[in-house]
Structure 1
Amino acid sequence: MRLPVRWRLIVQNAFKRWTRSQDAREVLAAASLQAWLSFAVVIPAVLALAALAPGARDFFKLPFRTSLACLVPALAVGIAFALLHRGRQRLETWGWLCLLPGIATLHFFLASLMALAAMPGALVFAAGLLFTAGYHGRMHRVAPSQPFVALGTAVALGLAALLSRTEQHLALLAVLSPLALLLELYAGSFALEHDRARAETEQLRAAVQAQLLEQQERDVGRLSQALVQILGYNHDINNALMSVSAAADMLSVMGVQRNALPRAEFEELVREVNEGLTRIRDMVVEIRQKGRRSVSSEPENVDLVPVLESVRTSLGWRFPDVAIELQVEGPAKALVRGGVTTMRRVVENLVLNACEGNGARGAAKVDITARTEPYSGRLELLIADDGPGFAPEKLEAPIEGLSTTKPHGTGLGLYTSECLIRASGGTLERGNRPTGGAQLRILLPRELR
Structure 2
Amino acid sequence: MSLPVRWRRLVQDAFKRWVRSQDTQEVLAASSLPAWLSSAFVIPAVLALAAWAPGAERFFDLDFYEAMACLAPTLVQGVGFALLHRGRQRIGWWGWLYLMMGTAALQFFLAALMALAKMPGALVFAAVLIFTTGYHGRIHRVAPTQPFLALGSAVALGLAALMARSDEHIALFAVMGPLAITLELYAGSFALKHDQARAEAEQLRAIHQVQMQEQQERDKDRMSQGMVQILGYNHDINNTLMSVSAAADMLSVLGVQRNALPRAEFVDLVRELNEGLTRIREMVIEIRQKGRRMVSSEPENVHIIPVLESVRTSVGWRFPDVDIQVKVEEQASHALVRGGVTTLRRVVENLVLNACEGNGEQGAATVDILVRPEPYSGRLELLIADDGPGFPADKLRAPIEWLSTTKPNGTGLGLYTSECLIRDSGGTLERHNRPRGGAQLRILLPRELR
TM-score by length of 1: 0.61
Q: Following TM superposition, by how much is the alpha carbon of 1:237 offset from its aligned partner in structure 2, in angstroms?
A: 6.0
The yes-or-no answer on 1:445 pairing with 2:389 is yes
Q: What per-residue deviation string (whole Å, max 9, x for no partner) do you get for residues 301-355 of structure 1? A: xxxxxxxxxxxxxxxxxxxxxxxxxxxxxxxxxxxxxxxxxxxxxxxxxxxxxxx
The residue aligned with 1:110 is 110
Q: Following TM superposition, by how much is the alpha carbon of 1:179 offset from its aligned partner in structure 2, in angstroms?
A: 0.7
**CA distance, structure 1, for counterparts of residue 115 and residue 225 of structure 2:** 80
The residue aligned with 2:265 is none
1:164–1:170 Cα contact (<8 Å) kept: yes
Q: Following TM superposition, by how much is the alpha carbon of 1:227 offset from its aligned partner in structure 2, in angstroms?
A: 0.7
1:357–1:387 Cα contact (<8 Å) kept: no
The yes-or-no answer on 1:98 pairing with 2:98 is yes
Q: What per-residue deviation string (whole Å, max 9, x for no partner) do you get for residues 28-67 of structure 1? A: 1111111111111111122122122231012211122211
Change beyond 3 A, Cα 1:361–1:70: farther
1:428–1:440 Cα contact (<8 Å) kept: no
The yes-or-no answer on 1:409 pairing with 2:363 is no
- Secondary structure, counterpart of 1:384 in structure 2: strand
1:59–1:118 Cα contact (<8 Å) kept: yes
When the two chains are superposed, the root-mean-square deviation of aligned CA atoms in Å is 4.1
**CA distance, structure 1, for counterparts of residue 332 and residue 92 of structure 2:** 52
The residue aligned with 2:220 is 220
Change beyond 3 A, Cα 1:172–1:362: farther
1:111–1:129 Cα contact (<8 Å) kept: yes
Change beyond 3 A, Cα 1:59–1:207: same
**CA distance, structure 1, for counterparts of residue 344 and residue 155 of structure 2:** 65
Change beyond 3 A, Cα 1:410–1:432: closer
The yes-or-no answer on 1:146 pairing with 2:146 is yes
- Secondary structure, counterpart of 1:119 in structure 2: coil
**CA distance, structure 2, for counterparts of residue 232 and residue 148 of structure 1:** 72
Change beyond 3 A, Cα 1:227–1:404: same
**CA distance, structure 2, for counterparts of residue 55 and residue 233 of structure 1:** 95
Q: Aligned letter for 2:201? A: T
The residue aligned with 2:63 is 63
Q: How many residues align?
A: 317
Q: Following TM superposition, by how much is the alpha carbon of 1:11 offset from its aligned partner in structure 2, in angstroms?
A: 1.7
- Secondary structure, counterpart of 2:207 in structure 1: helix
- Secondary structure, counterpart of 2:12 in structure 1: helix
The residue aligned with 1:172 is 172
The residue aligned with 1:27 is 27
Q: Following TM superposition, by how much is the alpha carbon of 1:380 offset from its aligned partner in structure 2, in angstroms?
A: 9.3
Question: Which residues in structure 2 correspond to 1:76-87 (within 5 Å)?
Answer: 76-87=76-87
Q: Out of 381-390 and 128-137, give the one that drifted further.
A: 381-390
2:358–2:388 Cα contact (<8 Å) kept: no
Q: Following TM superposition, by how much is the alpha carbon of 1:102 offset from its aligned partner in structure 2, in angstroms?
A: 0.6
Question: Which residues in structure 2 correspond to 1:168-247 (within 5 Å)?
Answer: 168-235=168-235
2:323–2:366 Cα contact (<8 Å) kept: no
Question: Which residues in structure 2 correspond to 1:43-442 (within 5 Å)?
Answer: 43-235=43-235, 359-360=302-303, 384-386=327-329, 406=340, 409=343, 411-418=345-352, 420-421=354-355, 422=357, 424-425=359-360, 426=363, 442=386
**CA distance, structure 1, for counterparts of residue 207 and residue 144 of structure 2:** 32
**CA distance, structure 2, for counterparts of residue 245 and residue 418 of structure 1:** 38
Q: What per-residue deviation string (whole Å, max 9, x for no partner) do you get for residues 238-279 of structure 1? A: 6789899999x9xxxxxxxxxxxxxxxxxxxxxxxxxxxxxx
Q: What percentage of aligned pairs have identical amino acids?
A: 59
**CA distance, structure 2, for counterparts of residue 242 and residue 59 of structure 1:** 102
Q: Following TM superposition, by how much is the alpha carbon of 1:9 offset from its aligned partner in structure 2, in angstroms?
A: 2.3
Q: What per-residue deviation string (whole Å, max 9, x for no partner) do you get for residues 363-410 of structure 1? A: 9xxxxxxxxxxxxxxx999663247999xxxxxxxxxxxx99826837
Change beyond 3 A, Cα 1:358–1:78: closer
Q: Aligned letter for 1:26? A: E
The residue aligned with 1:16 is 16
1:381–1:442 Cα contact (<8 Å) kept: no
Q: Aligned letter for 2:113? A: L
Q: Following TM superposition, by how much is the alpha carbon of 1:146 offset from its aligned partner in structure 2, in angstroms?
A: 0.9
- Secondary structure, counterpart of 1:359 in structure 2: strand
1:51–1:60 Cα contact (<8 Å) kept: yes
1:430–1:440 Cα contact (<8 Å) kept: yes
1:359–1:405 Cα contact (<8 Å) kept: no
1:382–1:441 Cα contact (<8 Å) kept: no
Change beyond 3 A, Cα 1:236–1:56: same
Q: Out of 196-205 and 82-91, give the one that drifted further.
A: 196-205
Q: Which runs of 5+ in 2 are unaligned?
A: 250-298, 307-321, 371-381, 393-436, 438-450
Q: Aligned letter for 1:178? A: P
- Secondary structure, counterpart of 2:69 in structure 1: helix
1:380–1:443 Cα contact (<8 Å) kept: no
**CA distance, structure 2, for counterparts of residue 128 and residue 241 of structure 1:** 86
TM-score by length of 2: 0.60
Q: Out of 177-186 and 28-37, give the one that drifted further.
A: 28-37
The residue aligned with 1:351 is none
1:384–1:439 Cα contact (<8 Å) kept: no
- Secondary structure, counterpart of 1:142 in structure 2: coil
1:24–1:90 Cα contact (<8 Å) kept: yes
Q: Following TM superposition, by how much is the alpha carbon of 1:212 offset from its aligned partner in structure 2, in angstroms?
A: 2.4
**CA distance, structure 2, for counterparts of residue 164 and residue 3 of structure 1:** 38
1:133–1:183 Cα contact (<8 Å) kept: yes
Question: Which residues in structure 2 correspond to 1:35-46 (within 5 Å)?
Answer: 35-46=35-46
